[in-house]
Amino acid sequence: MNLILLGPPGAGKGTQAKLVAEQFGIPQISTGDILRQAVKDGTSLGQEAQAYMERGDLVPDAVVIGIIEERLTQPDCQAGYILDGFPRTEVQANALAETLGKRGGTIDHVVNIEVSDEELIHRLTGRRTCKECQEPYNVTFNPPQREGVCDKCGGELIQRKDDDEETIRARLGVYREQTAPLVAYYEKQGLLRTVTGAGAIREIFDAVCGVVEGRS
Ligand code: AMP
């Protein structure tokens, strides 16, 4: 099963992708996580991406398309994968279609997670992320058992540099201009299913599973 999770920053794509990955035994592929790791490791990819990320801009299409093309050739992707944060532009969506076309693959579902702007800003300013394993938390909706410490790996929880209010507004603007058109793009292909991203994590997960399992 190949799945795309679409939605603005803060919609809960990462949280849902992790749950789907656990449930169905397929990898979560998050371009944001891959890029943050590259920045942390100081690789040439990280050096190229860092300034775009800190401003809340998109990293150039050619860079992220290269990352995805390479990642999809890994053996763990054979039984399927969840794309979280990719594609984010029409150029990326076309490149993905071309890559899949060459290998006889298809996208099975595109799940669009919808959340109001007000709620997104509230969530993103309260978001904390594990410095080590990138597990997402929220000080209000999904706090860790011990403040500042990851439940999963014991790593330190930090606020992402791009989760300050000014950068959040920039990221939401970028989403509206460059990524939101993908809703119509996948709707035209008959692949789009929208779920509400408001509510408890498990309720949203149930709705996502409903789409994946063909129940809704
Ligand atoms: P995310 O963790 O998905 O919110 O991504 C964090 C940042 O990484 C974004 O604000 C972009 O700067 C960059 N990024 C992640 N995925 C992509 C993508 N598909 N295209 C361009 N930039 C991306």
Q: Report the predicted TM-score, pTM, of the whole model to 2 decimal places.
A: 0.92
124-176 pLDDT tens trace: 999 999 999 989 999 988 999 999 999 999 999 999 889 998 999 999 999 99
198-208 pLDDT tens trace: 989 999 999 99
* Residue 171 in contact with ligand 1 by CB distance below 6 A: yes
* Mutation pick for ligand 1 pocket among 33, 35, 64, 158 (CB with most ligand atoms within 8 Å): 35
pLDDT score of 89 more than 90: yes
How high is the pLDDT of residue 201? 92
* Residue 81 in contact with ligand 1 by CB distance below 6 A: no
* Residue 88 in contact with ligand 1 by CB distance below 6 A: yes
Distance 66 CA to ligand 1 centre (A): 14
> What is the CB neighbour count within 10 angstroms for residue 54?
13
Instruction: Indicate the residue type of 138.
Output: N
Fold held by 2-115+170-212: Rossmann fold (3.40.50)
How high is the pLDDT of residue 92? 98
